[in-house]
Chain A
Amino acid sequence: MGQTEFTLRPKLMLMLLIPLALVFFPTTAVVTTGMIPTLVALVIDGSPRRYLTITVGGFNLVGCSYFLHLLWEMPQGLSSVMLVLGSSYGWLYALLGAGCGWLLFLGMPPVIRSIASAQAKIRLFRLNREMERMVEDWGPEVTSRADAPTVAKK
């Protein structure tokens, strides 16, 4: 997986987002602060595709929705920001969301492993049944290698 190049499109996105973030500064400040667990995950996430970051981030963002709900019901200003960030319930939801994301990330492999095992059994059963049918139809010679000479049935 090659490193993603910082090309025109991300630059364009930044050029659009930075003014937007400045316009909606209170929201930006609350989200940025509430997403600190995600930043922590980003720091420790070594995978190229940042799956841990995305997982934690998604749930962290949902958790931050309480902060946003409070903020958007108040007048937009720095005083509202401080007030919203002082909500212990907000931090509880934000951290709980991040924790859920972390737990999901850690708990998903055993689930997937179980599913894969079941899938392997089903596929083996289906393949064996198909091969038995092929032997019935074409005879045991069908089991020989394709580059081996054909042996007529007696």
Chain B
Amino acid sequence: MLKQRLVVVGGSYAALNAAAAARDAGFDGTVTMVSQEAVPPYQRPPLSKALLKDQIGVEDLPLKGESFYRDQAIDLLLDRTATALDPVDRQLSLSDGSRLPYDRLVLACGARPRRLEGAADADILYLRDLNDALALRSRLAQAGSLLVLGGGYIGLEVASAAAAMGLQVMLVAGRRRILARCAPAVISDRLEARHRAAGVEIVAGVAVSAEGTRVTLADGRIFGADLIVAGLGAIPNSELASSAGLATGDGIEVDEFGQTSASDIYAVGDCASHVNLWAGERTRLESVQNAVDQARAAGATIAGKRTPYRAAPRFWSDQYDLKLQMVGLSAGAQHHELIATTPTGCSFMHVRDERIIGVTSINDVRTQMWARRSLADRPLPLAEASLPSPPPQAGAGAA
């Protein structure tokens, strides 16, 4: 019998883990990864944190040692992209002109930064991959002031790193508060206060347009800085799938096994949307955890060990001396309740329909670990929750 051919498009957490999980579960055909990156998969979270501050080097970033790919017989094709997908002939066209046939295909194409409309790319830095981070690091080292566009995690982490490096930093968030999409107001408020204490000026709730290194706010104010970085969210790379006729919406639509509308094609990570138990609806998550866990499920399924992806979302962010950790989600919650306080932090639970759908902690690892155990496989009914410590006094430590 001919060997099965697994092809994975992508070069980061999701691609690597899909390939590795297929091998782990006994897939004995050929495994080929097609990555547009020039280097093997590497850690992404430090790109907006420790790497910018020069606390770690590029040599600390690889997700696996080089021998891993050899040992696992994973063929890594770097520096090329998949330009077309033919789902009938089961073939990928690559940017180097070659064609790559497959029996099973995993799309782990990731997402790309949303660009500021009307602004020239040369004037604004974005942060997604290693090259972006290295460029940003060298520009930060020479800049005295920084303007950050966007109040999401990327923007806040870059602002935090730049402030720690002594730059004068201003952050403009288009929404009415920072982290409007991914954290409740009580958490946004705490983080905002910490940024202000570090000297970061924050303007929220205004649209911007940019020309050169100056931006104009919708209210007419004009600001300039040596350097502008934009963190305006990401757009899923689903074009390869949609042009091949696969079902796509906000990302490539998959079921709980990572399977797309074509039964031999899977999609995982930032580019895929799945029906998420914590969100209560179809959603697309951009996180290391989602990329790893969803890819593992798909990889095992491809190897014949059907494995649904039902893990709770997890996320973290480090800014200054604040360690933010989340399990589950907070969007869609009807209320948020303080469940613990620590000398420098706190934890809030997020409740929807009498179930805890998420817990966000700042400098409170203990409560977060309780939450991750308690919410490991489903939103937790309030009636079944035994909170880790007595509820604090009303108002104590609240943001």
Q: A and B bound?
A: no
